Amino acid sequence: MNDLLATFGLLDWKPVMAALLLPPVPMLLMLILAWWWQRRRPALATALLLTAVLGLWFSHCQVTGELLERQLVMAPTLSTQRLAELRRSAGDGRTAIVVLSGGVRPLASEYGESHPAGRSMERLHYGLWLARQVPAPMLIAGGAGWALHDGPAESAVLARVASRDSGRTVRWTEAESHDTRGMARFSLQQLRKDGIDQVILVTHGWHMRRAARAFTEEAAHAGMALRLVPAPMGLVTDRLLPPLQRWTPTPDGHQRVRQALREWIGLAAGA
């Protein structure tokens, strides 16, 4: 699907398509159809109404997000032992830490300039921490997303914050991409020129499966022998939350469900 959109020059329609496929839009369409068919097809209208109401409820629940995320997580967080192994292997100078951006605020009035969005800040913080544990240069990937063509390059914003707040100089920034697939393609082009063949990939656990697939496939297309080390972050569990909080609609639950469904759609579409 992703290649088909690229063939017809419709990649910039991806945000619109995602918005139509993700909750609550499908449920709202069901409600409209239920109203339209309430006299002509009452049984079908009732079924649509119940489906839409249940869909709206569970698409806002933490437990639904947890179930959807569980199958997306492909690797555990890096253990102390694994970090020690990476520390030893990074001594040959052929290892890089790659942090995938997750959005920016074009203008944060409190700073007077663009600033990383919450997900980007979380990934950046972990990448900076990881760079202290495994002495390896860092690449930050991310241009302007499809929804913000005229916005700032996300990688440049994250690199500026890394330098300003942590005194860390980022060796590479990838600013041409618009999505995860592009991050993989353009990042590997830069890393290959400098002889990097091991990538420690930093992103959220729910995003890692799609990100790792993109890097693996793009490396294969480029004929690059890549050793990919997933370094997922943000892995959380809701088992300690009260049952009522897990099964009732909340804004956090809605966000988790949407981002997990977005990943499943991206995986199915080859994005």
Q: Is the distance from CB of 174 to CB of 190 less than 8 angstroms?
A: yes
Average confidence score pLDDT of the chain: 91
Q: Distances in Å between the alpha carbon of 146 and those of 96, 149, 177, 194?
A: 27, 6, 9, 29
CA distance linking residue 242 with residue 194, whole number of Å: 50
CA-based end-to-end distance of the chain: 8
What confidence score (pLDDT) does residue 7 get? Answer: 52
CA distance linking residue 72 with residue 218, whole number of Å: 20
Q: Is the distance from CB of 209 to CB of 223 less than 8 angstroms?
A: no
DSSP string, 99-110: EE---EEEEETT
For residue range 81-118, what is the model confidence (pLDDT) as tens digits? 999 999 999 988 999 999 999 999 988 999 999 999 99
Q: What residues pair up with 231 in beta bridges, in sequence order?
A: 202
In 3D space, the residue among 113, 40, 109, 68 whose CA is nearest the CA of residue 258 turns out to be 68
1-5, 80-84, 196-200, 258-262 — which is least confidently predicted?
A: 1-5
pTM for the model:
0.91
Task: Kindly state the average pLDDT of the residues 45-58.
Answer: 97
